[in-house]
Every structure is written in structure tokens, then in C-alpha cells.
Amino acid sequence: MESEGILLGMGNPLLDISAVVDQGFLDKYDVKLNNAILAEDKHLPMYEEMTSKFKVEFIAGGATQNSIRVAQWMLQIPGATSYMGSIGKDKFGEEMKKNAKLAGVNVHYYEDELPTGTCAVCVHGGERSLIANLSAANCYKPDHLKKPENWALVEKAKYYYMAGFFLTVSPESILLVAEHAAAKNKIFATNLSAPFICEFFKDAQEKVLPYTDFVFGNETEALTFAQVHDYKTESIPEIALKISQLPKASGAHKRITVITQGADPVVVAEDGKVKLISVIPLPKENLIDTNGAGDAFVGGFLSQLVLEKPIEECVRAGCYASNVIIQRSGCTYPEKPDFK
């Protein structure tokens, strides 16, 4: 199999500033656990405060970039994955490049004058809340994508993944790649990513959904999606089924919806049927934090999808990867995977 550059991701490269915080800090900044939001003015002081008040770790993040890094780790095939997004010309940006190289991902960053984007990861009782200050990540433009050396990555790839978060930055770039995928019968995957994407970026999301062959998400996002689209149900299997049956731009592949539910089974809707697949149980005391768990699930899943493995195997790999990541801080992993 010709695997060089088989999987391409595009998204918001962010440096995670991660710390275990107290309830007072969450309340002060009006932050809810198990949520992801874009920073408003009131959140901007929190990055400094976290750094001075708590023990922080700086970890290369950004949802799509995490998934691509995990897929690369699972595959252990040099250069199998590529990634594009926008970073700043600063030390965080340099850190990001170094990290991507170490991970073996072929990155083509656009470099902007603004500082590299950051994401506050507030961990409390093992749960996480994400507050993203996009900064440079918000500056990605289709012009960068259209440069021959970058579009070459699109031409080469057979699988594409872009988390929903990129809808807030460059829906135009997403559609360029999505339309290419549909025209060439390639596989395009996305993620509901966060309740606010489903609520406030509904129109952009609806334009992309017809091109998607795989839609990932968690139960909270699925419930928000169902509310916004007036599905009149809170049953995750039903919602997953409805998403899988939304109209499609190309008939070459049927859409498959994959919804994770934390420790509960993964819901897979395909071809008018729903399967529930159990996750690997983890004793509470082994849980470090859930940051990157959903990203890792997608990364593990995609690593087997590009090898053309059956969906059950893809889910099993997703569960394996997320199980590894929740026992570590942030979206980090040991040197080699132990997935059999």
C-alpha cells in the first residue's frame, strides 16, 4: 500500500496550557467541565493566572493535530500523515514544529504575525474544560492551501480529517478539500467537536456535512446537534442514525456516524443500523485527565481506516488509543503503541 501522506488533517494548531485547577478558578471564569469554548475578553487573564497559580504543562494540541499525531503514532509508518494550520513566528510556534517533527507528522504550517494560539485546559476531578484563544490559528486562508506545495498534500492523500473547530476559521478551505474528496471518491471525515459549533456555526456545518463520510462526536455534542435540528429525541442511537442519513453529495460511500459516550459503549450508525461497541473499562484511580480522549479516539480509528480494516477494528483501535491517553496528561503517549 502506498501510504506516504495517505491521511491529511487541517485545523487549529494550539499549544495546550494544562493544569489541575480548583473549583474556585472554574467559577471565577465561568467555565464548565466537559465543554470547549472560544475565549472571550473575560477569559484572557486566565492564561497568566494559571501559569502563576498552578503547575502548568505546555503540550502541543489542537483537536485535529492531536488526532493526526495519534494516527501517526498508531501507524508507525514514517510520513503517513500530514497536517496544515496556522501558527505564529514565536517560541510556541517553534515548539509546535519541533513536536510535530518528533511525532513524524509532515506539517505545512502557515506562519502569521500574531502569536501562536493557546488553549487553557482546566482539569478538575479528571474532567477537562477547554478555552481556546485562537490568535494565529484564526488566520488560516485558502491562499495557503492553494499553493502548489500544499495542494500537493491534498492530491496525495486518500483520507481527510478536519474537526468542527476549523469551521470557525476557514470553512472555505474545508469545502475546497471536501469537494476534492467527493470528486475523487476519497474519504472525508469531520467531528461535531463542541456544542457551540453545532449551535453557532450551524450553517457552515450544514454546508460541509453533505461531503462527510464519517462524522465523529461525543454524547453532549450529539444531544446539542439534535436540539438545534429539532430531532425531538435524546436517544443517542437515534441521533447517530439520523446524522448518518442526512443527504450526501456523493453516493460512492455511505455516511457512518460514530458517537463516543465516555465509559459507555461507542455508538456506530451505518446503513440504517446501529451497533454498540464496549470500551475498555478503566478504574477511576487510573484516570489522569480526559483531555485529548476524543481526539485520540479519532486518531486510533483513522489509523485502521486508512489500512482498510473493518469498522469494528477501527473502533477497537480508537478505544485503545483513548484508553492510553486518559492515563496520561494531555494528548501524549508512550514511545510505541501496544495495539494488537
Active site residues: 295
What cell does 156 get? Answer: 496525495
Tell me if 199 sits within 8 A of 169, measured CB to CB: no
Residue 48: Cβ-neighbour burial (10 angstroms; 0-12, 13-18, 19+): exposed
Q: How far apart are CA 134 and CA 14, in angstroms?
A: 7
Q: How far apart are CA 132 and CA 196, in angstroms?
A: 12
Where would I find the beta strands (DSSP E) of the chain? 7-10, 14-20, 35-38, 57-61, 81-88, 106-112, 118-124, 127-133, 159-163, 187-191, 214-218, 256-261, 264-270, 273-277
Measured distance between the N- and C-terminal CA atoms of the chain, rounded to whole angstroms: 20
Q: What are the two backbone dihedrals, phi and then psi, of residue 214, each rounded to the nearest 5 degrees? A: -130, 130
What one-character DSSP code corresponds to residue 123?
Answer: E
Residue 167: Cβ-neighbour burial (10 angstroms; 0-12, 13-18, 19+): buried
What cell does 211 get? Answer: 461531503
Q: How far apart are CA 125 and CA 151, in angstroms?
A: 43
Which has the closest alpha carbon to 178: 202, 200, 206? 206
DSSP three-state, residue 145: helix
> What are the DSSP calls for 48-102, one per residue?
HHHHHHS--EEEEE-HHHHHHHHHHHHH--TT-EEEEEEEESSHHHHHHHHHHHH
- What sign results for the dihedral spanned by CA atoms 196, 321, 288, 78? negative
